[in-house]
Structure 1
Amino acid sequence: MLKKFLATAILVVSLHAEIEKFQVIANNANTKNNIVIAEGDVVVFSPTYFITAQKVIYDKEKGTFELFDNVVIVKDNNIQTKSEYAFLNVNTDDLYQNPNMFYEEESSIWISSKESDKKNNTVNLEESILSSCDCIDPDWSIRSSTVDYDTEDKWLNTYNTTLYIKDFPILYTPYLGFSTDKSRRTGLLPPVIGYSQSEGVFYSQPIYFAPAPNYDFELIPQVRTDRGYGTYLYYRYADSPNSTLKLSTGFFKEKNGYYEEYDLRSKRHYGASLDYERVNLFSNSKDSKDGIFASLRYLNDVEYRSLEDDRFEESTERQIESKINYIYDTPNYFLGSYMRYYIDTQKESNGDTLQELPKLQAHSYNRPIFLDKLLYSTDLKYTNHYRRKELNANQYELNIPISYSFSLFDDYAKLVLKHEISANKFQYSNDNSNKDFEDGTYIESNSTIALHSDLVKPYEDFIHTVNLSVDYNHSESLEKDGDLYSLTNNNTILSPFPIEKSSDSINLGINQSFYDKEDLTQIVNHKLKQSILYDDFDNPKLQNMENQIIYNYFLGTISNKLVYNHQDDKLIESSSNFSLTYENFDLKLGHYMSKETENSEKENLESYNIYAKYKFSDDYSIGYSTNYNLEDKIRSKQALIFNIDDKCWSLDIKYEKEITPASTVDLEPIKQDIIYLQLFLKPIGMFRQKYEIQRKDSRNDS
């Protein structure tokens, strides 16, 4: 009886369209000629479509479906539409609906419209409301007279458009276009709009180009109405699966009034950078590897960086470093080439800035000689210390250590005997002071006896590990010839090329940790170091004692490092950090202190930093951060941050007080009070704004 009931209540019909095969399930179905009429909870499905309706009329000859009442169409498990009436041509993929609710799963965008008409790859919608929020009461929506959406390019255009927050109109524009595709593609990125008391209205419009999968570039023109205008360009390229290249350059021109009022060193700011990384450049075997890393920087003053887009802006440190490193590594030897070039942004000329062009290294790893445990290695370095002005030098360094080790007391301890020959040679040139310096050579011998012990003991709930070490070092000068700074000649012209004679010493150390027995996470780590140095008359002198402890508890980490000077009987350095994460609250605290004493070789410094964040609901959070110099009573940065991160939109508001470097004639830093605003309507785009509330420098600081 049950089988007979199901057979009369549900009819399954197979339909063959020109493109694909459809299955129809309905309570009733009638066929006349080429027309199939299905009624009552109709379900139509194929590899591409899933359709439900109360009535369906299918024309086999034309390949069309006419659907009535509570029509839902899902295509490719991504695009979903709902309407009261729909007409679908499965051969051409054309679709007409009214009224229509359109939803795309990938972008989470829905569009409610009076009617929609899809032909080819374009959907045209009339009198539409668009959003990615809740469709009953959206937080934001865009209302337009007409909309067209390209389903292939995933680009949506709206006309006569008004942005609403809840039911309140906020912004009108005759046209708005954006991509619903999250992949890389050419187009306009969100602009940055701002205002500053000193610079006027600020507008920056990033333009993104993605011509191919392996490279793209971004052009960012900007204008500051009371200051000037400029453009920055960023280029990225992957020339192989193992490499990346990044290039950037930029230019900004100051207006005469701003240039003169703020006494800037340069009227034009420009610069360029290159970053390149590649592995397996020449190496093609498992037993060797190589790589090159290049980071080149050039700028004429620090303003070049401070004017960049926040997404690319680097730290505005006084000294800019460029470097090119290449390494080739095998199990037996290591080769390296390093170049360093420095620009001091506070100097008019860097002719007297010392560069390393280049530094070469050849190193052979430990290998046995005569006996299995008798090991030796070699390390050879060459450095060209170069500058256009003053004294230059070529430096050659050679180190040859030989060591022998064996275990004691049933492997509870290990004894290491080591002897090392070290040689340094300086060849001086290009001294504009007309001083005749003799090339310097220094060779010394270092002998070491080291005793180490690694102990592990498990307990019921934790594991305790201890590393104890003591070593004695004896140094002897074998050759000391020519002009060597601090050894044979104290002329300050030689100070960039110092040589230090090693001293006899005893080094003591303990490193112990406690680990959780179940997951082996570290609970406590404690390190204690103490050295004793002997002078030329074998008088011992206690060096700074270092004590460091780290406690990892279930809510965060507590750490402290202390440095104690025995001669001054004072703590000369302290560094403490504390972190806590509890439910929706994050806190990080840091404190640093150093003291200038007779023997510390440090300066008086003290500062603290604070970072706190509280998430008071699923979407809302507030944060605070500050860096304060207690010694100089200067707060270098202070920020209050408010964030809303909803499913369909996010808002970041940050109020920041900061001190930034400036390329003024007097090199005085600038104090700024700035409000940053960032609104992201997902996935339409982002609005970024920046308002400078207050600016102070050496001319108007009160």
Structure 2
Amino acid sequence: MRVCYLACVCLLLCAVVYGDEDRKKIFELSANNVTSRGSMVVAQDNAFMLSEDVYMYADKITYNREEESALLEGNVRIYRGGSLFVDAARVEMNLKTKHTILQPAYFQNENGMWFSGQEVQDKDKIYTFKKAIISGCDVQFPIWHLKSSSGRYDSHKEYASAWNSRLYFGSLPVFYLPYFSFPTSTERKSGLLSPELGSTSREGFVYIQPLYLAPFKQWDITLSPQIRVDRGYGGNAEFRIADEKNNIARFNVGYFRQYHEYMKDYNLLNKEIFGFEVEYSRAGLLEPLFRNYKDHFYSSIMYMNDLEYKRLQKLNGRYSTRLHTSRVNYFGQSDNHYIGMYFKYFSNLAQANNNNILQTMPNLQYHHYLDTLFSKHLYYAFDVQSKNITRHTGYTYWQNSINVPLGLSFSLLKDYININGKVDLFASNVSLGNAQGVQDPFTQRQIERSMHYAYANYEIGLNSDVAKAYKHFFHTMHFEALFNAPAYRYTSDALSDRVYQAYAQLAGSMSSAALEAYWNPNEIIDFSAAQPKVDLKFSNYFYSTEGKELFFYRIYQRIYTQNQALTQNQSLRQEVGTTLFDGLNITANIFYSYIANTFNEASVTASFNKFGIQSTLNYFFRIDSRALQAGTYDAIANRSGFLRGSLRYDFGYFQFSGNLGYDTQNNYFKDWSVIFSRDIRCFGIALKFAADVRPILTTNNIETISNQYIKVEFRFVPLAGVGFTQRLQNQ
């Protein structure tokens, strides 16, 4: 009887279907040794039981067929998919009522979080426990763990909660939590995120508590109310939604109300700080409607009435950019055609408002790509643009232009030399709006409302590319010379050379406010575009035999053949870069000014990444080009310089990282930070010392303040992280 029953178990794996026809459930029991007596089945030695999607192993499994209950004893291990692992000594299970008692039990999910309790009860895959330990660290010696009096784990919703929890570092209790809950999966779940806590000398205690809501898979929202005890209150709301191609659209709105006493103490401009942001990018918006068509839509819009709008989104938010450009762009292209539509809105928070800033609303473009005409040596392109440039105060204009380059290209001396010839045909019409009271810089009379501009430039180019392989490296060299000059030119009086020259003289002697009364032709057509000129370019590249770049050098110079003043305003540009050895890269850009007889701009970047060290060093300086051209250059007032460095190294016991920014012209540290951190699998700690200088908007325009702060951050992997910031006295 026993042998026959065991054979049936091995062949059929005891597959049974029980329950009514509306809710069929799979059951399976097997082992090396199976005995049956009445309604009782005892499986021993590698005992295995399957109930629905739960796999169970034990030293011994006793199953009651009438009561549909099972008792698992000895080294019980339970799996459900890849998201749950249970280890227990004894498990009582009723398959009919779905009630289970585990004594003692150990749970672990796919993220590494585990629960250990003396007794755990399961009702339809909802587990309740008492006197449990929760952690994500090593089971025997956890770095951190929580001891909870009771709790609950819902495997359907993949959420866990615990009451009366004490946080321990090793055996030392450090924090008490009356209640908390957290998700146990990597899927998005609604709930409270880690708060930001801090204290500052200006703002007092700061508390930011993000609330995350994810009711649907395609969208979610984060609400972040905050209180700064001595400053005010407000919050942010960020809404994110995904389209069918998983492109994310982000909408953010923020508001903060400052106390009257705080505004008075620091002479601030805005009592209410607010703003909004919109970001969305998508490829293939209209592709299904046309054959061989690809397109892309991009939007990045931000409006704010104060720089603090961006900073207040975080406890230590940093934002110092006074100028910002909002964009909405769309372009589409096929094999030969391109269309584009561009909107640009410029914001300058250094001004009281943006009423006098020219905005592009919109710029429309059609372009026909470079193509051959009658012969493979003859080529052409076609470009049409229409720009609407507007603003609230001051003149506006609408400009329509067309550009048609016609070119010829052929090679000489077995392709060692290439010769290019091109005729560039251009025509433009400009219509001014709101131009009452705007004067012509040359005639001092009312500027004309409609103006025209046309030219035909010709260009002759000579270039050569050579390359040669050597034993230990590969060398390429490129040379190019371009001569460009007008063959024909027509302009209205408002765009003549004398108007450009008259405006340049006024710009050298007037303030920006006074210049607004005069017509600026440079906003329409670049004066240098129709001037005869020569462009000279030369470059060298050296590569290793493996194809890695070892060294490069590039030089560029523009020479105006009939205008020495324009040539002097040009700079000799040189670029050089090298990899001295694996891990060290150095690049430099250098601009030499003939007017100042010195280098007017330079940037040097060095990076090192080897032996566990990651470091960068950047140096930049520049002389104000407008001051150079106007002849009013001052070595102190019109010169800026900046040095930035960063270093990161893992010492084993801790990781060090730091960076600094230094203003070399005014001799002060703009910002710096030093971070000591340590990550040990399930736990991380970081200590940060930092300082920065930031502009603020006051009733006296823009002023700067210096802030120093200390931040400590704890990371409990995979649970959460929390930090506290203490901001020190401002200077």
Q: State TM-score, norm by structure 2.
A: 0.88
Q: Which amino acid aligns with 1:24?
A: S
Superposed, 1:70-469 pairs within 5 Å as 70-90=75-95, 92-104=97-109, 106-241=110-245, 243-284=247-288, 285-309=290-314, 315-433=319-437, 435=439, 436-438=446-448, 439-469=450-480
Q: Which amino acid aligns with 1:317?
A: T
Superposed, 1:436-585 pairs within 5 Å as 436-438=446-448, 439-484=450-495, 487-488=498-499, 490-491=502-503, 492=515, 493-495=518-520, 497=523, 499=525, 500-501=527-528, 502-518=530-546, 520-536=547-563, 543-552=570-579, 553-566=581-594, 568-585=596-613
| From 658, 671, 677, the counterpart of 1:624 | 658
Number of the residue aligned with 2:442: none
Task: Measure how far apart 1:594 and its partner are.
Answer: 2.8
Q: 1:586-608 CA deviation, whole Å, 9 max, x = no partner? A: 11111112346985788422221
Q: Distance in 2 between matches of 1:197 and 1:100?
A: 50
Q: Distance in 2 between matches of 1:476 and 1:314?
A: 53
Q: Identity rate of aligned residues, in percent?
A: 24
Contact 2:149/2:165 (8 A) holds in 1 = yes
Task: Measure how far apart 1:12 and its partner are.
Answer: 9.2
Number of the residue aligned with 1:607: 642
Task: Measure how far apart 1:225 and its partner are.
Answer: 0.8
Task: Measure how far apart 1:640 and its partner are.
Answer: 0.7
Contact 1:384/1:394 (8 A) holds in 2 = yes
Task: Measure how far apart 1:504 and its partner are.
Answer: 1.9
**Helix, strand or coil at the partner of 1:291:** strand
Contact 1:485/1:498 (8 A) holds in 2 = no
Q: Distance in 2 between matches of 1:88 and 1:512?
A: 77
Q: Which amino acid aligns with 1:646?
A: I
Q: 1:455-488 CA deviation, whole Å, 9 max, x = no partner? A: 2222334322222212222234511222138642
Return 5+ residue gaps in structure 2 as ranges: 19-24, 440-445, 504-514
Q: Distance in 2 between matches of 1:596 and 1:342?
A: 22
**Helix, strand or coil at the partner of 2:76:** strand
Q: Distance in 1 between matches of 2:236 and 2:569?
A: 55
Contact 1:627/1:636 (8 A) holds in 2 = yes
Q: 1:305-358 CA deviation, whole Å, 9 max, x = no partner? A: 2211369x6844112322221212122221111111122212223221221122
Task: Measure how far apart 1:143 and its partner are.
Answer: 0.3
Q: Distance in 2 between matches of 1:542 and 1:358?
A: 32
Q: 1:98 and 1:533, CA in 2 relative to 1: closer, same or farther beyond 3 A?
A: same
Contact 2:198/2:315 (8 A) holds in 1 = no
Task: Measure how far apart 1:151 and its partner are.
Answer: 0.7
Using the TM superposition, name which of 540-549 and 246-255 deviates more.
540-549
Number of the residue aligned with 1:699: none
Q: 1:59-112 CA deviation, whole Å, 9 max, x = no partner? A: 2333332122333333334422222221133455432111122222x1211111
Q: Distance in 2 between matches of 1:554 and 1:161?
A: 52
Q: 1:478 and 1:592, CA in 2 relative to 1: closer, same or farther beyond 3 A?
A: same
Contact 2:31/2:44 (8 A) holds in 1 = no
Q: Distance in 2 between matches of 1:385 and 1:577?
A: 38
The structure whose residues are more often helix, as a share, is 2
Contact 2:454/2:491 (8 A) holds in 1 = yes
Q: 1:386 and 1:620, CA in 2 relative to 1: closer, same or farther beyond 3 A?
A: same
Using the TM superposition, name which of 537-546 and 654-663 deviates more.
537-546
Q: Distance in 2 between matches of 1:134 and 1:536?
A: 76
Using the TM superposition, name which of 520-529 and 493-502 deviates more.
493-502
**Helix, strand or coil at the partner of 2:696:** coil
Q: Distance in 2 between matches of 1:234 and 1:635?
A: 34
Q: Distance in 1 between matches of 2:96 and 2:498?
A: 91
Q: Distance in 1 between matches of 2:566 and 2:437?
A: 39
Q: Distance in 1 between matches of 2:193 and 2:103?
A: 34
Q: Which amino acid aligns with 2:493?
A: G
Task: Measure how far apart 1:538 and its partner are.
Answer: 12
**Helix, strand or coil at the partner of 1:107:** coil
Q: 1:90 and 1:513, CA in 2 relative to 1: closer, same or farther beyond 3 A?
A: farther
2:723 pairs with 1:652: no
Task: Measure how far apart 1:523 and its partner are.
Answer: 2.4
Contact 1:484/1:494 (8 A) holds in 2 = no
Q: Which amino acid aligns with 2:481?
A: V
Contact 2:31/2:45 (8 A) holds in 1 = no
Contact 1:242/1:279 (8 A) holds in 2 = no
| From 670, 674, 690, the counterpart of 2:705 | 670
| From 60, 63, 70, the counterpart of 2:68 | 63
Task: Measure how far apart 1:390 and its partner are.
Answer: 1.8
Number of the residue aligned with 1:15: 14
Q: 1:485 and 1:59, CA in 2 relative to 1: closer, same or farther beyond 3 A?
A: farther
Q: Distance in 2 between matches of 1:51 and 1:113?
A: 19
Q: Distance in 1 between matches of 2:68 and 2:471?
A: 75
Contact 1:13/1:25 (8 A) holds in 2 = no
**RMSD (CA atoms):** 2.8
Q: 1:40 and 1:76, CA in 2 relative to 1: closer, same or farther beyond 3 A?
A: same
Task: Measure how far apart 1:554 and its partner are.
Answer: 1.4
Contact 1:12/1:24 (8 A) holds in 2 = no
**Helix, strand or coil at the partner of 2:264:** helix
Q: Distance in 2 between matches of 1:122 and 1:47?
A: 16
Q: Distance in 1 between matches of 2:57 and 2:370?
A: 74
Q: 1:396-424 CA deviation, whole Å, 9 max, x = no partner? A: 33221110001111122211111112234
Q: Distance in 2 between matches of 1:574 and 1:652?
A: 36
**Helix, strand or coil at the partner of 2:703:** coil
Q: Distance in 1 between matches of 2:568 and 2:395?
A: 35
Q: 1:217 and 1:44, CA in 2 relative to 1: closer, same or farther beyond 3 A?
A: closer
Contact 1:486/1:498 (8 A) holds in 2 = no
Q: 1:32 and 1:525, CA in 2 relative to 1: closer, same or farther beyond 3 A?
A: same
**Helix, strand or coil at the partner of 2:31:** strand
Q: Distance in 1 between matches of 2:206 and 2:558?
A: 58
| From 638, 651, 654, the counterpart of 2:672 | 638
Task: Measure how far apart 1:365 and its partner are.
Answer: 1.4
Q: 1:343-376 CA deviation, whole Å, 9 max, x = no partner? A: 2212223221221122121211122333332111
Contact 2:235/2:313 (8 A) holds in 1 = no
Contact 1:12/1:25 (8 A) holds in 2 = no
Q: Distance in 1 between matches of 2:37 and 2:429?
A: 103
Q: 1:325 and 1:38, CA in 2 relative to 1: closer, same or farther beyond 3 A?
A: closer
Task: Measure how far apart 1:202 and its partner are.
Answer: 0.7
Q: 1:415 and 1:136, CA in 2 relative to 1: closer, same or farther beyond 3 A?
A: same
Q: 1:148 and 1:480, CA in 2 relative to 1: closer, same or farther beyond 3 A?
A: same
